[in-house]
Amino acid sequence: MLELQPYLFFYGKCEEALNFYKSIFGGTIDSIMRMKEAPPDMPAPPNWGDKIMYARFESGAVKFSASDGRPDTPNVDGNISLSLSTRDEAEATRIFDALAKGGEVEMPLGEVFWSAKFGVLKDKFGLEWFVNCEK
């Protein structure tokens, strides 16, 4: 089975981001590999030893890989939006509100012609989310 999963970069805030998403979606954070675990020919700056080189998050159908990125990479917003769909209006509201804390609502969660509820926000880590509750 072929499966596409996003690989998200959090530029030094990966562990905080993983715990944030776990608090919303539940699930597990697996396969954490820290920069200090890299082989000697791939040294990380001394202050990046505990940063995350790779981690995997999974909660039902919500799955992604994540990293702090490389220390020399600037923190820029990506060109990705994550779309999350449910058929439970209360769950859509709970998830939207939780993701919006510390972030910015671009389109409030509300009824639209194609869906019972739909909203767009950027969370506190700069990721854009489309939350959709199907009719």
The pLDDT score that the predictor gives to residue 78 is 61
The pLDDT score that the predictor gives to residue 44 is 79
Give 124-135 pLDDT, tens digit per residue. Answer: 999 999 999 988
**Domains in the chain, ordered, with CATH?**
7-67 (3.10.180.10), 81-133 (3.30.720.110)
The Cβ of residue 120 has, within 10 Å, a number of other Cβ atoms equal to 18
Residue 2 has pLDDT above 70, yes or no: no
Closest CA to 14 of 55, 45, 60, 44: 55
Give 8-55 pLDDT, tens digit per residue. Answer: 989 889 999 999 999 999 999 998 999 998 888 877 778 889 999 999
The pLDDT score that the predictor gives to residue 3 is 78
